[in-house]
Structure 1
Amino acid sequence: MLFILITGLITACNSIKGVGENERLLVKNTIYVDSVRNTSEQIDNLIYQDPNKTMLGLPIRLYIYNLARPNIDSIIDAHLNKSEKHRKNLEQFLSKKQLLQYINYRKGLNAWLKTTGEAPTIVSEPRAVKSVKRLEDYYTNNGWFDVSASYDTIQKSKNKTEIKYHVNLGKAFKIDSISSKISSPMVDSIYNRSKNRSKIKIGERYTTNNFEAERDRITTSLRNNGVYQFSQDYVIFQVDTVGTNKKVNVEVQIKDLEIRNQDSSRREPFKVYKIKDVNVFTNSTIESRDDTIQDSVTYNGYNLYSTRKLAFRPKALTDALFISPGRIYSDLDRTRTYNHLSELKTFKYPDIKYVENPDTTLTANIHLTPLKKFNLGFATDVSTSNIQIIGFSVNPSLFARNIFRGAETLELSGFASIGASDDASNDEDVFFDINEIGADLKLTIPRVFFPFKTDSLIPKYMSPTTKIGLSIASQKNVGLDKRSLTANLNYNWKPKRGITQAVDLFNSQYVRNLNPDNYFNVYSTSYNTLNDIAQDIGYITSDDDLSIPDGTEEFITEVLSDNPPNDISDDDIQTINNIEERKIRLTENNLIVSTAYSFVKDNRKSVTDEDFYIFRFKLESAGNLMALGSKLFNSPKNDDDHYELFNVAYSQYIKTEFDYTKHWDLGHKNILAIRSFFGIAIPYGNSDNIPFSKSFFAGGANDNRAWTAYDLGPGSSQSNDDFNEANLKLALNIEHRFNVFEDLYGAVFVDIGNIWNVFDNIDDDASTFNDLSSLKDTAIGSGFGLRYDFSFLVFRFDIGFKTYDPSYTEGDRWLKDYNFGNAVYNVGINYPF
């Protein structure tokens, strides 16, 4: 069987196997523009036929196609009927059913080979001629009116041919003058007010796309200024190139409105339309549009109707409308109304229709179909991890619309789970010894909810929303056990396309650890380091272990006292001091009350755009109001010289983040992507360090892929902690993505960065960013990966190698562990940036 398979593959690797005697396999297209070889993917795509796709330089899909038999039915029939008794013997040996299954299998396999493979691309002279015509048309549309193109075929080997296309451009035509001829004085006035934004510029090369864009711009401008009946057909460009020495004189012509009768037509000047009435049907469906109106109200000139009792406060609906009575008609108002009503998540996509009135006004009829007021959800999950043998969870949820008659949405979800742990420190004979329960409430209000009017600062066209959240959770026997309470008030708005701004007016988080004595059971790496030192210096025998928590606490207290054990080194004392500092940080209760502002600019034109940038900025401040209150009321401080609220020392810090991502489309499905990140959190006043939840970490599938998450840093420290974190982070990622085969893509990458401590109470010099010389401790990882694009998501697999590891001594950091044995294997969904 193996011999047959190998023989088949060798035979299939003859790329001209399926090429006829008088046919030629197309192996390459080359385009020369003014004798210079073209490298533009856009130009390559103009050719009507492409060579077979290759992977690593080989036409793999063509080879797969060649494995299929073109006349499989005849081959099977000839084999089965090669003698009178052969088919009968096979039926007796296999049975008729099995023989039929074998035949279907052979046919199915052959069909799969053809579908998966790719038929050979046979040189087609007519397609080459069409390609020449398309090349000439493309360059003509881009200003080279004297262009000429041709092609010739180059015999590469037997039955293999390359086609070379030659394009001679000549001199490009440029815009020399722009004039206008507009019949309607009103249209002429609107045109002249905005002609400085014209897409056609004097001195620029003629391009058809610019003329099409200018036609769209004129149409949009007129329709946004009340010319309801206007369409693109009324815009004509008269282009004169006769005797102009490669220059183009353009006349913009806009004709009057054409009114057609049964047997004739006439033209009249366009008119500006105003909105007379706006009728909002609040519970309209196709089936109910003829039902009797039961409730109606007029509010600020809007007419609201319902076939039953009106379910919405009038202001809640009219605030979402940009189409206003007495206002000049505008396409933009209609688009904004569509978008704003859709963003309410209360209605299906709205239906907006205009009716012309005899007095040059319009009546806008807006039909709204409410979605279900309530949606219930219920999810279950079964999981396992290094913490628990098995766990079960349930997640009920409720989604309510128009909860206060103002198009608000309320999301209420719960979470409950139980699990079985094999924790050695747990002496209770209970199988399900892990439990967690919590609830989350989110209220979204489709406007700025604030005591004062904010319309002048954040007008409604910016789609402002207010989000109020409250969540509570309790864990038992998960880590340190904890209870947490979170509340937040957030405002979000979009001042321009691609720009989003948000303010967290307050975001409060309270975390209480219920079982800090369990610390060394959770952070086992720290415990192992502590235990090894105790054994090495003879504090305990090599057969004993420090007990948790009493043994560990006693050992740490003795080492950090004024009389440490005689045999312990200064380095070990520093290590234990770091372990103790980290333990204090991670077991302390947290109270964080912060305010934050964030800004995001994303210039992507669509989800398929691969030439864009995204800039993110965030500034967060915590604890300032509470510190001011503590000072005003002369509150007492605790033993650590910190103010407390609810017996917890609240956090005080300022934190900022800058994140910039840029993609370049290199053509031929090649993308160069970079991401740079800088973040710093500075504690002050009531804090000596940053809470764990607000600190930075490095490593992982979306960061430096040569290290696992939380494994890198801080600085050059040789930390073996389970979760390394710090309050300063620098990162730079560079990745080249390329197509390998159909929907399979490859990537090579370099990840640079690290985390450090700065301006806090960590005194480990290896972990601290002191000055620019600390940049020598920046880690570098490199590697490669594969991605498969399922269209709705991208499955990603990356292998990262430690290229420059700052945890080693200087001079011994490059390529120290650069091998597959020390590589980190990452699996992710979608691209890392």
Structure 2
Amino acid sequence: MALISACNVVKKVPTNKSLLTKNKLEINGKNINDENLTSLIVQQPNSSILGFKLRLHLYNLAKENTDSLFKAKYINNPKKYYHQSKWLSKKQVDRLGKSFWYSGIHTFLKKTGEPPVVLDTAKIKRSIKQLKAYHFNEGYFNTKTQYKVNYKNRFSEVDYKVTTGEPTFLDTVSRNIETPAIDSLYQLTQSKSLIKAGEQYKTLNFDTERARLTSYFKNHGVYYFQQENIDFVIDTTTKKAPVRINIYDREVKEGDSIKKKPHQIYRISEVNIYTIEKEAKNQKTFADSAITRRYNIYSNSKLRYRPRAITSAVFIQKDSLYSEEAKSLTLRSLSNLNIFYYPNIEYKEDSIGKLKVNIFLKSKDKFSFKANADFTHSNIQQFGISGSTSVSMRNIFRGAEILEIGLRGNIGSSKQFSNPEDSFFNVTEIGADLRLSFPRLFLPFKTTRIIPKRMFPTSYISAGFARQQNIGLDKENFTSIINYSWTPKKNTNFKFDLINVQYVKNVNVENYFNVYNSSYTRLNELAHIYNTIPLFYDEFGNLTKEAGGADGFMYSALNNQFPTLDPLGSDYRTIQGIKERKDRLTENNLIFASNLSYYRDSKTDFLDRQFYSFRGKVESAGNFLSLLSGVTKQKENPDGTKEIFGLQYSQYIKSEFEFIKHWDLKNNKIIAFRSFFGIAIPYGNSTSIPFSRSYFAGGTNDNRAWESYSLGPGSSGGLNDFNEANMKIALNAEYRFNFFGDLNGALFADCGNIWNVSDSETEETKIFSGLKSLESLALGSGIGFRYDFNFFLIRLDLGFKTYNPAQSESQKWFKEMRFDKSVLNIGINYPF
């Protein structure tokens, strides 16, 4: 079998050639596996999965010259051609040659597969040059390289050997700067130089220092400065190399000759801002203008904006030094206003040796309309179709504000809710939103000293209403938010909800036992043991769900109307727990909260595969309403709670922390890790957390061996239909790799659970009581398949219960790692 496999591998390797199977890199006598170094080798062997060259085998399955094969089978065989044309027309027979089975499948195999890597000595020599150049850039100027090819039958291995010798270190660092003004600036930043005596030579340090100096000069007034004006002279013939930094004057073309001129430090003489409301033939004709101390604003029609709305987004000021950074900040800030098309900034040298700045802004239309539709998938909906439409009104108060009015809707399919009519679309939602955004902090006092405009502060006020039908108890959701956000530095963001109000009203409470069927089942089983009131049963001898039977049984049981039910027994506590859970999940929630979120990541760009991100959030709810109820002297309810406007409000403190890290292993291999911790503690007016602010475990983006809401709390075994709690720990890890083409795979492990802590829950299996409770962390593992469509990714993950804390001690590990116990998750994009 191995021989057959080997023959298949070299099937398409020319007779006088060999298949490259392995590269070996040795540096100074040591074998090297570091991908940063091995990737310098130009020609790599065919890719493999666990040692099997899948893509090469697929390529070898493809037939060559399919047109010739088809002709030989049909066209050159008249009898066969005549027989086939009796069933199909001649035209259809001729088209068979281009069909999928004759041609398309082989094209697919070639495209998906990978041609054999035939040993190429020219590429070996290129690899030798790259290895030598790499070590030269690291300071090993006398590096020696060699290679040896080992042939075995039609296979070959290449051994690369590198001998670096001793590295070169930097000695004295001197400078030669032709323009005195540049020399003065250099002395101010010399202490931050990356070129220091005594350090090993690295080309990267010199390139970085050139870029750093160029940026420094261009941000301190030197408008015409370029990287080409900086040169480094290093003596590479000695182990201690002196360095001279040369900074030359700029070259200016005058007629047919090139002359040198000293660099000049420029200041801004004036800043002109031109707003263009509509295209005009003569842009020098201005219908309106506004002149301030630092800016001149002109418009070719009536000026639509208050001057402050525009100038607050401009970082270039009259009499300031020219700064490349100020230009970049201005472009970004003006773009963020979302009321202009792409801004354009030009600098012109004036007659007094300063720079005049012209900023051109073409206004977007005051009104815009957009609509979109999308297919959705979530923890609740297996399939959904959502749509939204909105109208935006820009610059509504002449301060670059944007008012958005939107409508949204959704229809979906869910297997998690009662569906007596057995309809596919059994979930609907419709909502409306109103949002007003400001390109500044919307506060009655100045905040520029606390949060300067270079942090791009924004504010928005929003209000929304949504009605959900057939989602749980059918909810009406009212929200209102006052939010502020700012970016203190790159890749760092703060968001602060001064007011975050949510009112959740359950409009179909009678449907409770249809939705939470597991609670009903347990209650019904107990009723068959203890119930003595026939009124609670239907004609089949079961508790009625909507006619008061289930509620009547609970009320009678908890009021000791059944003599055989022990008030101190476990069955009584079960009924009590079901009643408390029903009361909590059917009560309307008024949440008046404030929260602060912090986010930071290390991504350099969209293609960066090695990065980390951290997100933290702290939320407090109910304190303002508690103060208001005290001032207005609201009466306490029998259970000690208070109400505002006839509604009981929630009071809690909540915090969340999430850390994500990606390691790039090269060759389309990545290790991704996520950790999450969240806890919400009720106090004051609450003994539990509202359902909308609680945590659940399981699902497509969590522990994929359990369905959403089916894991926990603790080791209780997910007895309820929707299991939730107020504390959560989650750890996820994935090893991601490429199968072939756009098909990727992953091996994953998910660990985590939810618990109740410091709330009304009394069942010990659900409560987090210390480090020992970590024994109820659940572990799921599995394999995933992902197909990349470039603009989104479809994901299928198959999760297996590796450790189930709800099982007995002997059944926890590996007993459910079977396909009949697995969970298939379908998602869009990566889970983290």
TM-score, reference length from structure 1: 0.92
State the distance in 1 between where 2:690 and 2:175 align: 66
Q: How does 1:322-337 map to 2 (within 5 A)?
A: 322-337=315-330
The equivalent of 1:554 in structure 2 is 552
C-alpha contact (below 8 Å) 1:714/1:724 kept by paired residues: yes
Does residue 36 (structure 1) correspond to residue 30 (structure 2)? The answer is yes
Q: Cα offset for 1:656? A: 0.9
The equivalent of 1:164 in structure 2 is 159
Q: How does 1:276-315 map to 2 (within 5 A)?
A: 276-283=269-276, 290=283, 292-315=285-308
The equivalent of 2:95 in structure 1 is 101
Q: Which amino acid aligns with 1:694?
A: R
State the distance in 1 between where 2:11 and 2:472 align: 64
Q: CA RMSD in A?
A: 3.3
Q: Cα offset for 1:418? A: 8.3
State the distance in 2 between where 1:384 and 1:29 align: 45
Provide the secondary structure at the position in 1 that maps to 2:449.
coil
Q: How does 1:6-155 map to 2 (within 5 A)?
A: 14-77=8-71, 82=76, 95-105=89-99, 106-155=102-151
Does residue 587 (structure 1) correspond to residue 586 (structure 2)? The answer is yes
User: Which segment is superposed worse, 587-596 or 169-178?
Assistant: 169-178
C-alpha contact (below 8 Å) 1:284/1:367 kept by paired residues: no
State the distance in 1 between where 2:279 and 2:586 align: 61
Q: Cα offset for 1:772? A: 2.2
The equivalent of 1:768 in structure 2 is 767
User: Which segment is superposed worse, 438-447 or 64-73?
Assistant: 64-73
Q: Cα offset for 1:784? A: 2.3
Q: Which amino acid aligns with 1:187?
A: I
- Unaligned residue ranges in structure 1 (runs of 5+): 1-5
Provide the secondary structure at the position in 2 that maps to 1:585.
helix
Provide the secondary structure at the position in 1 that maps to 2:765.
helix
**What's the CA shift string for 1:440-464, capped at 9, x where partnerless?**
1111111111000000011001010
C-alpha contact (below 8 Å) 1:12/1:67 kept by paired residues: no
Q: Cα offset for 1:565? A: 4.5
C-alpha contact (below 8 Å) 2:112/2:740 kept by paired residues: no
Provide the secondary structure at the position in 2 that maps to 1:282.
strand
State the distance in 1 between where 2:80 and 2:280 align: 67
State the distance in 2 between where 1:715 and 1:63 align: 48
Inter-CA distance 20–716: structure 2 relative to 1 (3 Å threshold): closer
User: Which segment is superposed worse, 366-375 or 135-144?
Assistant: 366-375
State the distance in 2 between where 1:477 and 1:444 align: 33
Q: Cα offset for 1:27? A: 1.9
**What's the CA shift string for 1:447-487, capped at 9, x where partnerless?**
11100000001100101000111002334565323332211
User: Which segment is superposed worse, 801-810 or 761-770?
Assistant: 801-810
C-alpha contact (below 8 Å) 2:403/2:435 kept by paired residues: yes
Partner residue of 2:564 out of 563, 566, 580: 566
User: Which segment is superposed worse, 286-295 or 612-621?
Assistant: 286-295
**What's the CA shift string for 1:574-615, capped at 9, x where partnerless?**
222111111111111111111111111111112222222111
Inter-CA distance 500–761: structure 2 relative to 1 (3 Å threshold): same
Does residue 781 (structure 1) correspond to residue 780 (structure 2)? The answer is yes
The equivalent of 1:596 in structure 2 is 595
Does residue 349 (structure 1) correspond to residue 342 (structure 2)? The answer is yes
Q: Cα offset for 1:171? A: 1.3
User: Which segment is superposed worse, 479-488 or 182-191?
Assistant: 479-488
State the distance in 1 between where 2:83 and 2:515 align: 70
Does residue 821 (structure 1) correspond to residue 820 (structure 2)? The answer is yes
Q: Cα offset for 1:696? A: 1.3
C-alpha contact (below 8 Å) 2:711/2:717 kept by paired residues: no
**What's the CA shift string for 1:185-205, capped at 9, x where partnerless?**
211111121122223333332
State the distance in 2 between where 1:117 and 1:730 align: 42
Does residue 406 (structure 1) correspond to residue 405 (structure 2)? The answer is no
**What's the CA shift string for 1:512-557, capped at 9, x where partnerless?**
2233222112212211221122124465789411112410111111
Q: Which amino acid aligns with 2:732?
A: N
Q: Cα offset for 1:734? A: 2.3
Q: Cα offset for 1:437? A: 4.1
Inter-CA distance 751–67: structure 2 relative to 1 (3 Å threshold): closer
The equivalent of 2:181 in structure 1 is 186
Percent of aligned positions that are identical: 44
C-alpha contact (below 8 Å) 1:272/1:360 kept by paired residues: no
State the distance in 1 between where 2:646 and 2:268 align: 62
Inter-CA distance 372–388: structure 2 relative to 1 (3 Å threshold): same
Provide the secondary structure at the position in 2 that maps to 1:495.
coil
Q: Which amino acid aligns with 1:21?
A: T
C-alpha contact (below 8 Å) 1:54/1:741 kept by paired residues: no
Inter-CA distance 561–373: structure 2 relative to 1 (3 Å threshold): same
Inter-CA distance 483–62: structure 2 relative to 1 (3 Å threshold): closer
The equivalent of 2:464 in structure 1 is 471
- Unaligned residue ranges in structure 2 (runs of 5+): none
Does residue 202 (structure 1) correspond to residue 197 (structure 2)? The answer is yes
Inter-CA distance 60–768: structure 2 relative to 1 (3 Å threshold): closer
Inter-CA distance 483–538: structure 2 relative to 1 (3 Å threshold): closer
The equivalent of 1:3 in structure 2 is none
Q: Cα offset for 1:169? A: 1.0
C-alpha contact (below 8 Å) 2:379/2:699 kept by paired residues: no
The equivalent of 1:791 in structure 2 is 790
**What's the CA shift string for 1:267-308, capped at 9, x where partnerless?**
232111111121212127787563632222213421222221
Inter-CA distance 21–393: structure 2 relative to 1 (3 Å threshold): closer
State the distance in 2 between where 1:548 and 1:363 align: 78
Partner residue of 2:243 out of 228, 247, 250: 250
The equivalent of 2:492 in structure 1 is 499
Provide the secondary structure at the position in 2 that maps to 1:368.
strand
Inter-CA distance 216–125: structure 2 relative to 1 (3 Å threshold): same
TM-score, reference length from structure 2: 0.92
State the distance in 1 between where 2:336 and 2:206 align: 34
Inter-CA distance 289–598: structure 2 relative to 1 (3 Å threshold): farther
State the distance in 2 between where 1:657 and 1:787 align: 29
